[in-house]
Each structure stands twice: as C-alpha cells, then as structure tokens.
C-alpha cells in the first residue's frame, strides 16, 4: 500500500478514492527515478507497485520526523502492458514540441518514482530498494538528486514554485474529478530535466534577468504588467480557461548539479488534474503565441528529457486490474518517445 493524502473519503459508490501524496510541503531533498519496463518484466513491476508503501515505511521507521514520501507515475505504453480495462482519459505519450528556435524532446519513461524527504539518505535508500526489486525486470534511464537551494530558489537565483496553489485549491488543481469517474482522485505529472547555461545567465545584469523571469530576484515579487515582458517566463506560464479563470498546476521543481561535469539544472515536475494545462504552458514556452515568439528562459535553459505519467490512486495500486493478455503487449517498441 502507498501512504494516503489528498481526498480521503471511504470507498463507497460515488466517493473519491484516496490519492497518492502529491500535495505536500516543499522537501529539502528529492530523488527522481525514470524507469523503462523490460520485456517480460511486467509481473515484477506489478508486484513492486503494490509494495511501495511497505518499503517506504521500512525506511521511514528509522527517522519518522524526516517526512519520507513517494509518488508513483505510470506511462502510456506501460499502462497497456500492466493493466487491463479502462485507461485514464488523458493518458498519452509526452508530446514533443519543436518551435522555430527551441525543442522539447520526448524521452523514454514507463515509470516515475518521485521520492521526497528532509534528508537525502532516506530518499536514496528507498530508491535503492526499488532498484533491487526491479533488477532484471526494468532499467533506470534517468536519475536526478534534487536539493533545496537556500530559500526555495533555483540555480538561476530566483524563487521557484511561489505561485503554487494551496489547500482545497491545490487539490482541485491536481486531482481528477467527475470528468473521468473511473480515475477520480488520480492525477497526471509531466517531468523535464533542464540544463542551464550558467555562464550566459551570469553575464546578464540582474535587471535583465528579472525581465526574463518576470519577477524580482531578491524580493520575489511579480513585475507589473506594464513592465513585465510578454516573452517572460511568468507571462507565458499564465494560462486561462474559456471563462478567463487562471488554470493552476502544482510544481515540485528541484535544483540539481554536478560541478565536475559542469551540469547545473532544474528538474521540472508539474502535477495537474489534466496534462492539457501543463501542455498549454509548454506550447506557449516553445511555440510562442501572438505577442511572444518563445519563452526567453529557453535561451538559457534547455530540456533534455520529457515524459508524461498518470498518477493512480492508492486504491488502484492496492487492488489493480488483471494484466492484459500477452498478445496485447508482445509487440516491440515498449518505451515512449
């Protein structure tokens, strides 16, 4: 079983199943594992998914105050290999974006493990246990260790995630409702690994950096509309519905880096009740819109991965549907691109 958070009514008809711990306070440490399922590894993966909570508890027991949590996501291709029955309505492979100047690639990813805690050793130990269980059945294709950087800042020096909704507004933004009743209480998550050109960024005066982001650097205040450029990151990540209401996601981004390799980046992770909200933001960033060709932050920050996952409810993972017939997943080409 997975630990429960978010909507938590009883499992009666018409109620919302219990959700994975998507909406939690900002973590000091995070570990992101993206995994592809090897041919023939489906049963091993299904067994692990039902045991994630027990493994988490075995690690968290050593340090209860450190708030160890884990969210599991499942990709589109893997879903059809692991489960029979209905699919989540909006689950599909990550949609690659190729603009006039910048490119958002789609990369392989069948499973996502988003592990968070106040200490990295707990994250690492839980991820190690996952990898041991998956040995011979799945391959880790990307691993990122994220850390809190001062007062929730990214390596560009700006506060990240300050526009996240809170409380019931956050739950409404990230958890599926009656629009897909079979999967109420689930969510969707998009991840991208961005690498920063720190030399070019550091060459910009602070005032110019603020125009790229759309917020002040020190005080973390959004620039007034008359000053904020149309191609700033904040401007292009503001999307609204047909009634003019702003649509929200919950970002749990983390900085990461490797000094020896000259690697400095941000791991973007955005949860939403439908991926269309995050995809609208990405389209604005990479393809632009009438008043802006692209998000200026992309001149300094380049994505090298891109995956989309459904985050099932705890009830689903505790009691999953049967595996589909072998013929349904015997064709080659299991991973998403």
Is position 24 within any domain?
no
| Structural domains in the chain (count) | 1
CB 50 within 8 A of CB 2: no
CB 156 within 8 A of CB 200: no
**C-alpha to C-alpha distances, 291 to 144, 229, 244, 284, nearest whole angstrom:** 35, 10, 18, 10
Q: Is the pLDDT of residue 335 over 90?
A: no
Residues forming a β-bridge with 270: 190, 251
Q: Is the pLDDT of residue 332 over 60?
A: no
Q: pLDDT band for position 231 (50/70/90)?
A: very high
Is position 337 within any domain?
no
pLDDT (tens digit per residue) in 236-264: 999 999 999 999 999 999 999 999 999 99
Residue numbers of the domain that contains 132: 29-327
Is position 79 within any domain?
yes
**From the candidates 160, 171, 231, 295, which is the catalytic residue?**
160
Beta strand 263-272 pairing with 254-258: antiparallel
Q: pLDDT band for position 298 (50/70/90)?
A: very high
Predicted pLDDT at 328 = 52
Q: pLDDT band for position 4 (50/70/90)?
A: very low
Is position 158 within any domain?
yes
pTM score, two decimals? 0.92
Q: Is the pLDDT of residue 16 over 90?
A: no
pLDDT (tens digit per residue) in 125-175: 999 999 999 999 999 999 999 999 999 999 999 999 888 999 999 999 999
Helix (H) or strand (E) holding 204: none
Is position 13 within any domain?
no
Is position 1 within any domain?
no
Q: Is 80 a catalytic residue?
A: no
Select from 201, 52, 62 the least CA-distant residue to 122: 62
Select from 281, 305, 304 the least CA-distant residue to 233: 281
Predicted pLDDT at 2 = 53
Residue 157's domain is classified under what CATH number?
3.30.70.1030
CB 257 within 8 A of CB 149: no
Please, what's the b/e burial string for 73-101 (b: 16 or more CB within 10 A of its CB; e: otherwise)?
A: bbbbbbbebbbeeeebebbbbbeebebee
Q: If DSSP codes are grouped into helix, strand and coil, which group holds residue 187? A: strand
Q: Is the pLDDT of residue 320 over 90?
A: yes
Predicted pLDDT at 15 = 66
Is position 10 within any domain?
no
Is position 333 within any domain?
no
């Amino acid at each position: 079983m997975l630990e429960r958070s978010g909507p938590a009514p009883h499992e009666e008809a018409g109620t919302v199943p219990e959700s994975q711990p998507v909406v939690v306070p900002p973590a000091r440490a995070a570990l992101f594992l993206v995994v592809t399922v090897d041919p023939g590894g489906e049963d091993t993966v299904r067994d692990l998914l039902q045991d994630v909570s027990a493994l988490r508890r075995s690690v968290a027991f050593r340090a209860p105050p450190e708030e160890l949590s884990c969210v599991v996501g499942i990709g589109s291709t893997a879903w059809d290999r692991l489960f029979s029955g209905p699919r989540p309505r909006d689950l599909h492979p990550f949609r690659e974006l190729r603009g006039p100047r910048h490119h958002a690639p789609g990369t392989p990813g069948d499973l996502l493990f988003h592990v968070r805690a106040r200490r990295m050793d707990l994250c690492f130990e839980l991820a190690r246990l996952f990898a041991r269980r998956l040995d011979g059945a799945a391959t880790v294709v990307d691993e990122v260790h994220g850390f809190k950087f001062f007062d929730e800042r990214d390596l560009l020096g700006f506060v990240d995630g300050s526009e996240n909704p809170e409380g019931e507004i956050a739950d409404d933004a990230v958890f599926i409702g009656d629009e897909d009743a079979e999967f109420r209480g689930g969510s969707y998550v998009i991840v991208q690994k961005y690498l920063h050109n720190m030399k070019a960024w550091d060459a910009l005066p602070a005032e110019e950096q603020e125009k790229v982001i759309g917020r002040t650097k020190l005080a973390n205040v959004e620039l007034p509309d008359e000053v904020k450029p149309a191609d700033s990151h904040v401007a292009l990540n503001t999307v609204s519905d047909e009634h003019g209401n702003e649509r929200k996601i919950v970002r749990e981004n983390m900085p990461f880096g490797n000094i020896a390799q000259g690697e400095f980046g941000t791991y973007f992770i955005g949860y939403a009740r439908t991926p269309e909200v995050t995809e609208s933001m990405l389209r604005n960033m990479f393809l632009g819109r009438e008043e802006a060709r692209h998000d200026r932050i992309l001149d300094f920050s380049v994505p090298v991965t891109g995956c989309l996952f459904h985050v099932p409810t705890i009830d689903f993972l505790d009691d999953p549907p049967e595996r589909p017939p072998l013929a349904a997943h015997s064709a080659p080409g299991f991973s998403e691109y």
